[in-house]
Structure 1
Amino acid sequence: MSHDPKNGMINGSNGAGSYDAHDEAEAEAEAEERAPAPLPAPPERVAELCAACMRFVASKYKVSLDGTPDTLSLLDQYVREAREAARERPESVELVAPAVGAYLGEVMRQEFGGEWWAEGDHDAWRLYFTNVYLAFNPIGMAREAITMTEEPGWHAHMALDPGERDEIEARLAAMPEVDEEEYYLPTTRLDVVTAVVETLRARAEAAGIGDVTFSKEDYE
């Protein structure tokens, strides 16, 4: 008598192919335990600036940012036009940069995990990463994206553990070169941060400390 292997899989007559709801429930529970906990909402001041950035972009292009890296190219275009506006009205940087920086920082926080410090003047703000030792001010990054110059006192550059700096510098030096216009754009900044986070995570995993996390207090 011929045997149709599909019968055992569909009807459950073959123990190896049988369906067990209990096993599936256990697998789902284990997956939920491994999944990272949802991040808390950003501070109110950050959320307000993110909303402003989304309004600015939607008003100009009739397309909405979605809070993910997928639409950062739209923010790039907004920054390019903000550069032109800043040449005519330098004061516009004070309005646009906080909104762009808060939005970019929140995209990064959602992507990699982190904690905002958003009190006082904007130059004091920081994004502290949770799973690697890394911090910077995204609003400083946004100012540099618009002015295309370094902004002293705005802490746009990454704060790293001194013992990890050489490896990070080597990793960044190996990245493809880009021109100045592209160098400061949000998508390029995200690419750089992604490379840094991946390098630091690989280093931590290799050292057996991949489960170590950081809070704001660790950066003080």
Structure 2
Amino acid sequence: MSDEETNGRPHVREDLPPPAELTPPPPSVAEALSACVRFVHAKYGVLLDGTSDTLSLLDQYVRDARAEIAAKPAALELLATSAGAYLGEVLRREYGAEWLAEGDPSGWRLLFTHVFLSFNPVGLAREALVSAEQEGWHAHLATDPAEQDGVMARLASLPDVDEEEYYLPSTRFDVVGIVFEHLRARMARTGTSDVTFSADDY
């Protein structure tokens, strides 16, 4: 997914400060998400453009890839890394975040800028591909411990979904958005809406 393919601009949210020019993702992430774009284009003839509108296609790609992984388990690592990089980049552009992507993908993190929130998008993709939790891949949404109970209560208030839908990239995108909005509302109530977070804070 090149800057040309995504117009090189992050999504503009009216409730956040105007975004700076979006910096490119780290090389390891760029390589993986470009692979995802190629894989999806080869399979469906559609070019992913880095927006949330394309996540329904990523959902279908994940569904179809499950059979491939069942037949060839070694494919999981490549497919999860590529799909996770794409999902993470969509989230980064939508909400504002930076990648920590050094070494093995199990250690990658997406660190949010406008709320204190982090997780590993590759972990989310692995769980989507196997329809089960993946221990050690940090797919859980990590927040300030003081906010955890409120976040859990907010998520508990959501309608139930079946297990297959729960793990899909589009569902996880929606859940991240709900948590993001919850944390932003909390910051507004405490007068800290202008606070931002960097990698040093994590």
Q: TM-score, normalised by structure 2?
A: 0.90
1:102 aligns with 2:85: yes
Q: Secondary structure at the match of 2:99?
A: strand
Q: How many residues are paired up?
A: 187
Amino acid at match of 1:163: A
Which of 139, 148, 163 is the equivalent residue of 1:156?
Answer: 139
Structure 2 match to 1:136: 119
1:40 CA drift (Å): 1.0
Determine if contact 1:39/1:113 at 8 Å carries over to the other structure.
no
Letter in 2 for 1:57: V
Residue-by-residue CA offset, 1:154-212 (whole Å, 9 max, x unaligned): 11111111111111111111112110111100000000000000000010011100000
Which residue of 2 is the match for residue 46 of structure 1? 29
Q: Identity over aligned residues, as a percent?
A: 60
> Which structure has the highest helix share of the two?
1
1:56 corresponds to: 39
2:97 aligns to what?
A: 114
Q: Which whole-Å CA distance do the structure 2 matches of 1:65 and 1:36 have between them?
A: 22
Q: Secondary structure at the match of 1:116?
A: strand
1:35 is displaced (CA, Å) by: 2.3
Q: 1:16: which partner in 2?
A: none
Supply the distance in 2 between the matched residues of 1:176 and 1:96 (Cα, whole angstroms).
Answer: 29
Q: Is the 8 A contact 1:136 1:156 kept in 2?
A: yes
User: Normalising to structure 1: TM-score of the pair?
Assistant: 0.83
Instruction: Say whether residues 1:165 and 2:134 are aligned partners.
Output: no
Q: Does 1:201 align with 2:184?
A: yes
> Per-residue CA shift, 1:89-131, capped at 9, x if unaligned?
1111011000000000000000000010111111111000000
Give the deviation of 1:36 after TM superposition: 2.1
Runs of 4+ more than 3 Å apart: none
> Residues of 2 paired with 1:121 and 1:214: CA distance?
24
CA contact (8 A) 1:116 1:127 kept: yes
Alpha-carbon displacement from aligned partner over 1:41-90 (angstroms, at most 9, x marks no partner): 11111111111000000000001111000110000000001111111111
Q: Distance in 2 between matches of 1:83 and 1:202?
A: 37
Structure 1 contact 201–210 (Cα < 8 Å) conserved: yes
| Structure ranking higher on relative contact order (CA contacts 8 Å, 6+ apart) | 2
Q: How far apart, in 2, do the equivalents of 1:115 and 1:133 lie?
A: 12
Tell me how large the CA RMSD over aligned residues is: 1.1
**Larger Rg: 1 or 2?**
1
Where structure 1 has 5 or more consecutive residues not aligned to the other structure, the ranges are 1-30
Which amino acid in the other structure matches residue 132 of structure 1?
Answer: V
